[in-house]
A and B are shown apart, each in its own frame.
Chain A
């Protein structure tokens, strides 16, 4: 398996623009996680899905952030409008359902909002 695939790997955009990050989980995994990593706050969970259904979105910072998982092999994280404080590395991870399974991380998307 190719592992968790994320695109783009790097994104530079101007404040106010819409940003869409994409993730393809490992085939057969039915949990998908979106994380954000910054120097100030470390790794934080934004949202996770089980079987394509959002389970916990309490980490989504505000209404500018939205995430979808239309099918088992694809998810998006959208920021609209983007702000400089959204600059971070965004990781997608997948696993089998449940907290007792290893999570496999994608390479991350480094987002810079100017």
Chain B
């Protein structure tokens, strides 16, 4: 079993829909990261969380430390949100080393 599990693996939505991507992890962490990888391959850090909730534009990330679970929400989705979204955790025992989920491929159709 992977230490970081994401769901769903693939997600197709219509423009305007509310989207949720989930991430569960099995060990203690010091931080959780959400990354976005564009179709061209570049990787962008969206959020770094250790507790609570963060919001940036149409993106919202939440984390529940007790349940070892995080969600990434996209409101009013747009075709330009189409990308792979990757959850990664910094384990309490591994310093800066990140352990990655397998990613969620999101496609938003116009």
Contact = CB atoms under 8 A, between A and B. Distances in A.
B43 A91 contact: yes
Interface residues of A, number: 26
A43 B45 contact: no
A103 B97 contact: no
Contacts, number: 63
Chain A interface mostly: strand
Interface of B: 30-31, 33, 35, 41-45, 48, 50, 86, 88, 90-91, 94-98, 100, 102-103
Which 7 A-B pairs rank lowest in CB-CB distance, beginning with the nearest? A99-B90, A105-B43, A100-B31, A43-B100, A102-B45, A99-B30, A102-B48
11 contacts: A42-B103, A43-B88, A89-B41, A95-B96, A100-B30, A100-B50, A101-B48, A102-B33, A103-B98, A105-B42, A110-B41
